[in-house]
Chains A and B, each alone.
Chain A
Amino acid sequence: MNVTGVALVAALVAGFGGGVAGLVVPRTVRPVVVGACVAAAGALATLAGVAAMAGVAWSAALPWLLPLTGVELAVDPLGGVFLAVTGAVAVAAGVYGIGYARGGLDGRAVQAALPVFVASLLLVPAAGSIGTLLVCWELMALASLLLVLAEHGKRAEVASAGRWYAVMTHLGFVAILVGLLVLAGATGDGSFAAVREQARAPETAGLVFVCCLVGFGSKAGVLPLHAWLPRAHPEAPSHVSALMSAAMVNLGVYGILRVGFDLLGGGAPWWWLAVLVLGAASAVYGILQAAVGSDLKRLLGYSTTENMGLVLVGVGAGGMFAASGDAVLAALALTAALLHVVAHAAFKTLLFLAAGSVLHGTGLRDLDAMGGLRPVMPFTTVAFGLGALTASALPPGAAFVSEWVLLQALVHGAGSGTVVASSIVLPVAVGAVALTAGLAVATFVKAFGVGFLARPRSAAAAEAHESPPTMLAGMALAGLACVGLAVLPTVVLPAVAGVAGGVTGSGPAVTGAVTIQLTGVSGTMSPLLLVAALAVATALVAAVVSRRSARRARLWDCGGGPMSARMEYTATSFAEPLQRVFDNVLAPDQDVDVTHYEESRYLVRAVAYRRTLRDRVEHRLYEPVLAAVRGWGRAGRRLADGSVHRYLTYGFATLCGLLVLMVVTR
């Protein structure tokens, strides 16, 4: 057993041990013990993942552990990336959870489910056979469902979110099950190695890929299967939201990569075109919903849809390049996708943890009621600001680096492949990525500027308090990751590029220690030099102006007396221009009521404005289905009216019918 194996087994022991500890340890020390177990599991898994990325593969078969399929574990470099990312997120979430759980989340069920959830997240990318993958996938779904429902006693929406999550995640599971069983059908044991060896018809491969795309795509929150994501992620406790949004959704991408590239060995260009189009649509739609939303955690959930969309744009482009025989370019696109997975994990963990800290300190999730948190929650403000900077993909930030690599792949892809692909798909993809980046800026300027700066818009925001040290420590870990990835992405980039190169069968597409250097095509960028140049310039400019002490003065209030918080722009008003621009897409229901004085209709007594923004895809796609299901239910109820005779008649009629059928068909 090598270092990967030892670390992974130790991580799993820590995870499942934490689950047992959550059940047996007394309430006073339960969060500490469970948090420590989660963090330890995370740290060990990160170690295992890094070792696997470095090339130390490990596999084990335990046929006795499960009936029928047995358990097979195999960690390769691709799985290693996802192991390391999941582990790193778990470290931050575990530390954070120690403090966060004090607020009524220290019950047995929740505390036991959390480490088990982390362990299942680690098992999915380590699974080495189809049976194992399916079992771990289901374990992950169940554990996360328990955690989503953790606060069902406090809020009514939690139960509804749980139902959506349970139904959609299982429909997705069915799709994966069908796809993978077709895939495994011909092989005896369903181990990945055996599946890889097997030859299959292109139609079968296409069917398997589409099924897996639906199933894994729903886990990644891809349009139109995203409906559960912005419901379930916000309703879960914040450190669980971080684990779900930063680690669990990645496994959807992992599934698509594993099945498409590894098990099926590439495929037709249309597969990857579908992935790219779905990704671009999800990215734009997700960030548009985030840009006009005002619930902080829901906004972050939609942003997850957006970022997974961007990752899938990279994956789809990579697949298309690979299908047209350009392995280096494919490796570049996949590198961008994997790097974005890493960057997204870092900033989304930070943002969800900071949002949890705000929830902890104020009880608020509604941006319209926040504001002025800077003086009372300085640490959380800095953390969220850092996360927002990273998430808006502005330089210098980790997501900027990954989006830069992605854009490079798309620009350089112009010369490769079929003309339709390169002259139509790529420009449109660039436009979509750019619109996504622009809207992400608007979203996070709103979230940070309205939520944390200016003055408090409610009493709850005014009476906020900073979070306990363990929560701050969790945020600090995620924040360090964000800073590190922004300044020195070259620390992780070669490893990630190596993995991507391994998947496409070419060398690494990106090299360089200080400057990112693309191989095969021209392109260089140095985040470190950029940061250094910015620092020098900022110091220079600051030195020129900041000599005098400042005098405090009143804000310009148009002479109308002191400004009140009611005069401030809210998140809703901030997003109003965007909402108007995208009116056709969003189709908001709005209503303005102006009441006049009786004496004159020129004098306004009051103006009432109501706006409800429903997710249009959900509204158009899911509600008819739900209504139809409800209709069938009603029809079914008419069949069952409680009369025993009637039920017996059904049985009798069916029996007679069958007999007649037999006679006729004979």
Chain B
Amino acid sequence: MSALGLVGGLLQAVLVVGGAPLLLGMMRQVRARLEGRAGPGIAQPWRDLRKQLRKETITPRGTSEMFRVAPVLMVAMTLVVAVVVPFVGTASALPAVADLIVVVALLAHGSVAIALAGLDTGTAFGGMGASREVTILALVEPTALVAIFALSVRVGSTSLPEIVGSTLDDPARVVSPASLLAAVALAMVIIAETGRLPVDNPSTHLELTMVHEAMVLEYAGPRLALVELGTAMRLTVYLGLLANLFVPWGVATEPGVPALLVGAVAFAVKVGALGAALACAEVFLAKLRLFRVPELLAGSFLLAVLAVTAAYVLG
């Protein structure tokens, strides 16, 4: 546990919690502008959260503790990830937790908690959402791990600080086919796990197409605020992970206010750019039928396998 890691970790927690709703707002704003609408402004998610947090807590009848603790667990797990992953500096606050496999599994655990809460309500919507969510989760897992395999083979480790450090030392590796293929595969994993188009439509409330929204339909007030914050944080963390695995430039390598500031700004810019790109792409995409999603995931798995092959063949 180094000074850089500790300070960086705290800074990251603040950045992710404070910036995640802004990222969401920015993405919605980009979409709105591209679709010819004025848009509510990028601070709207924060205004929504403030409103939800002030409301009274409502517990639906017949739900158990699972429903109550799930949002807390989801946010807590994402928060741990936000602290330990080397976003701002190359060192991690908890190097023994900053393992790529651990991080991906922790984020998956967050969605499992929400899926259980969806089942706990006992409504058809909750069950439907949970069923679809875990199906997608199960199918995403092979792509995620094989892509991780491709990334870690060249570094010889799944530890995030080491992968980030190795890419910093040898930037030419970024344009190798293995790295590019793994990046595309991981991007698809992220789209599927964060419920973006074309896998899930985050702004729909149509029962035939809902995945994430169906699970959290019963939430209201502060708990809903937590769920929304958690979802936004997941997106931020995933995009940050993608950014730092492949373009780690700007990351602080030693403690010090200027370096950390540069690191924080670089992190915000990279995540913002990725978010804006995602929002632009979403304008041109329609949601896939649920049973076409496996095709997308099979394709991403193929890309991950190609990344491994490329890592061996081309070095």
Query: Would you list 18 pairs from A and B whose C-beta atoms are within 8 A, ordered by A residue?
Result: A414-B149, A434-B145, A435-B142, A450-B127, A453-B64, A524-B99, A524-B159, A529-B97, A533-B80, A534-B80, A537-B77, A537-B80, A541-B75, A548-B56, A549-B57, A555-B123, A556-B218, A580-B291
Q: Which residues of B contact A525 (CB under 8 A)?
A: 96-97, 99, 102
Given known pairs A537-B77, A577-B132, the reply for A438 and B142 (CB within 8 Å) is yes
Pairwise interchain contact B135-A435, C-beta atoms closer than 8 A: no
Q: Which residues of B contact A553 (CB under 8 A)?
A: 58-61
Pairwise interchain contact B138-A578, C-beta atoms closer than 8 A: yes
How far apart sit A445 and B109, CA to CA, in the bound complex (Å)? 11
Contact residues, A396-439 vs B (CB, 8 A): 400, 404, 407-408, 410-412, 414-415, 419, 422-423, 426-427, 430-435, 437-439
Q: Which residues of B contact A446 (CB under 8 A)?
A: 134
Which of B38-46, B112-120, B265-273, B278-286 binds A? B112-120
Say whether chain B's binding surface is mostly helix, strand, loop, or mixed: helix
Pairwise interchain contact B149-A411, C-beta atoms closer than 8 A: yes
Known: A374-B64, A533-B97. 18 other contacts (CB 8 A): A395-B106, A404-B99, A411-B153, A435-B141, A449-B119, A454-B120, A530-B80, A533-B83, A533-B94, A537-B77, A537-B83, A540-B79, A545-B226, A556-B217, A568-B122, A569-B127, A569-B131, A581-B294
Cβ contacts A313-346/B at 8 Å (1 or 0 each): 0000000000000000000000000000000000
Asked if A286 lies at the interface with its beta carbon under 8 angstroms from chain B, I say no
Asked if B76 lies at the interface with its beta carbon under 8 angstroms from chain A, I say yes
Say whether chain A's binding surface is mostly helix, strand, loop, or mixed: helix
Q: Which residues of A contact B94 (CB under 8 A)?
A: 526, 529-530, 533
How far apart sit A455 and B126, CA to CA, in the bound complex (Å)? 13
Pairwise interchain contact A419-B312, C-beta atoms closer than 8 A: yes
Asked if B121 lies at the interface with its beta carbon under 8 angstroms from chain A, I say yes
Asked if A394 lies at the interface with its beta carbon under 8 angstroms from chain B, I say yes
Which among A410, A573, A581 has the highest number of chain B CB atoms within 10 Å? A581
Q: Which of B59, B64, B123, B141 is close to A437, meaning CB atoms less than 8 Å apart?
A: B141
Which among B83, B142, B150 has the highest number of chain A CB atoms within 10 Å? B142
Which of B24-32, B194-202, B248-256, B301-309 binds A? B301-309
State the 7 A-B residue pairs at the shortest beta-carbon distance, nearest first. Answer: A569-B127, A438-B141, A449-B119, A454-B122, A438-B138, A526-B96, A434-B145
Q: Which residues of A contact B65 (CB under 8 A)?
A: 374
Pairwise interchain contact A454-B218, C-beta atoms closer than 8 A: no
Asked if A156 lies at the interface with its beta carbon under 8 angstroms from chain B, I say no
Which of A50-58, A499-507, A515-523, A601-609 binds B? A515-523
Cβ contacts A552-576/B at 8 Å (1 or 0 each): 1111110000010101110001111
Q: Which residues of A contact B6 (CB under 8 A)?
A: none
Pairwise interchain contact A557-B123, C-beta atoms closer than 8 A: yes
Min CB distance A406 to B, Å, is: 10
Asked if B11 lies at the interface with its beta carbon under 8 angstroms from chain A, I say no
Q: Which residues of B contact A533 (CB under 8 A)?
A: 80, 83-84, 94, 97
Q: Which residues of B contact A433 (CB under 8 A)?
A: 145
Q: Which residues of B contact A524 (CB under 8 A)?
A: 95-96, 99, 159
Asked if A301 lies at the interface with its beta carbon under 8 angstroms from chain B, I say no
Pairwise interchain contact A568-B127, C-beta atoms closer than 8 A: yes
Given known pairs A525-B97, A534-B80, A556-B123, the reply for A448 and B145 (CB within 8 Å) is no
Q: Which residues of A contact B72 (CB under 8 A)?
A: 538, 541-542, 545
Q: Which residues of A contact B225 (CB under 8 A)?
A: 545
Q: Which residues of A contact B68 (CB under 8 A)?
A: 550
Asked if B274 lies at the interface with its beta carbon under 8 angstroms from chain A, I say no
How far apart sit A431 and B309, CA to CA, in the bound complex (Å)? 14
Q: Which of A400, A442, A555, A557 is close to B134, meaning CB atoms less than 8 Å apart?
A: A442
How far apart sit A563 and B218, CA to CA, in the bound complex (Å)? 13
Q: Which of B73, B128, B130, B131 is close to A538, meaning CB atoms less than 8 Å apart?
A: B73
Footprint of A on B, CB under 8 Å? Answer: 53, 56-62, 64-66, 68, 72-73, 75-77, 79-80, 83-84, 94-97, 99, 101-102, 105-106, 108-109, 112, 115-116, 119-128, 130-132, 134-135, 137-142, 144-146, 149-150, 152-153, 156-159, 162, 217-218, 222-223, 225-226, 290-291, 294, 301, 305, 308-309, 312
Min CB distance A136 to B, Å, is: 39
Nearest to A555 among chain B residues (CB) is B60
Q: Which of A371, A407, A514 is close to B145, meaning CB atoms less than 8 Å apart?
A: A407
How far apart sit A548 and B130, CA to CA, in the bound complex (Å)? 28
Q: Which of B97, B112, B159, B223 is close to A523, meaning CB atoms less than 8 Å apart?
A: B159
Q: Which residues of B contact A408 (CB under 8 A)?
A: 158
Min CB distance B6 to A, Å, is: 13
Asked if A375 lies at the interface with its beta carbon under 8 angstroms from chain B, I say yes
Q: Which residues of B contact A540 (CB under 8 A)?
A: 76, 79
Q: Which of A412, A427, A450, A580 is close to B156, meaning CB atoms less than 8 Å apart?
A: A412
Q: Which of A392, A427, A445, A554 is close to B149, meaning CB atoms less than 8 Å apart?
A: A427
Q: Which residues of A contact B62 (CB under 8 A)?
A: 454-455, 555
Pairwise interchain contact A534-B77, C-beta atoms closer than 8 A: yes
How far apart sit A455 and B108, CA to CA, in the bound complex (Å)? 26
Asked if A441 lies at the interface with its beta carbon under 8 angstroms from chain B, I say yes
Nearest to B217 among chain A residues (CB) is A556
Min CB distance B165 to A, Å, is: 12
Asked if A551 lies at the interface with its beta carbon under 8 angstroms from chain B, I say yes
Q: Which of B109, B132, B137, B308 is close to A427, meaning CB atoms less than 8 Å apart?
A: B308
How far apart sit A553 and B218, CA to CA, in the bound complex (Å)? 10
Q: Which of B123, B137, B144, B156 is close to A568, meaning CB atoms less than 8 Å apart?
A: B123
How far apart sit A438 and B145, CA to CA, in the bound complex (Å)? 11
Nearest to A449 among chain B residues (CB) is B119
Q: Which residues of A contact B138 (CB under 8 A)?
A: 291, 435, 438-439, 441-442, 578
Cβ contacts A20-49/B at 8 Å (1 or 0 each): 000000000000000000000000000000
Pairwise interchain contact A551-B56, C-beta atoms closer than 8 A: yes
Nearest to B135 among chain A residues (CB) is A577
Q: Which of B84, B96, B131 is close to A576, meaning CB atoms less than 8 Å apart?
A: B131
How far apart sit A577 and B121, CA to CA, in the bound complex (Å)? 20
Q: Which of B64, B102, B130 is close to A375, meaning CB atoms less than 8 Å apart?
A: B64
Min CB distance A501 to B, Å, is: 21
Q: Which residues of B contact A576 (CB under 8 A)?
A: 131
Min CB distance B119 to A, Å, is: 3
Nearest to B110 among chain A residues (CB) is A394
Pairwise interchain contact B101-A442, C-beta atoms closer than 8 A: no
Q: Which of B57, B105, B108, B115 is close to A550, meaning CB atoms less than 8 Å apart?
A: B57
Pairwise interchain contact A442-B64, C-beta atoms closer than 8 A: no
Pairwise interchain contact A537-B123, C-beta atoms closer than 8 A: no
Nearest to A569 among chain B residues (CB) is B127
Q: Which residues of B contact A515 (CB under 8 A)?
A: 96
Min CB distance B32 to A, Å, is: 28
Q: Which residues of A contact B83 (CB under 8 A)?
A: 533, 537
Which among A410, A515, A521, A525 has the highest number of chain B CB atoms within 10 Å? A525
Pairwise interchain contact A394-B108, C-beta atoms closer than 8 A: yes
Given known pairs A392-B112, A394-B109, the reply for A574 and B131 (CB within 8 Å) is yes
Pairwise interchain contact A438-B294, C-beta atoms closer than 8 A: no
How far apart sit A523 and B155, CA to CA, in the bound complex (Å)? 11
Pairwise interchain contact A455-B109, C-beta atoms closer than 8 A: no
How far apart sit A555 and B219, CA to CA, in the bound complex (Å)? 10
Which among A448, A537, A576 has the highest number of chain B CB atoms within 10 Å? A537
Min CB distance A585 to B, Å, is: 12
Min CB distance A227 to B, Å, is: 25
Which among A422, A432, A454, A545 has the highest number of chain B CB atoms within 10 Å? A454
Which among A374, A541, A568 has the highest number of chain B CB atoms within 10 Å? A541
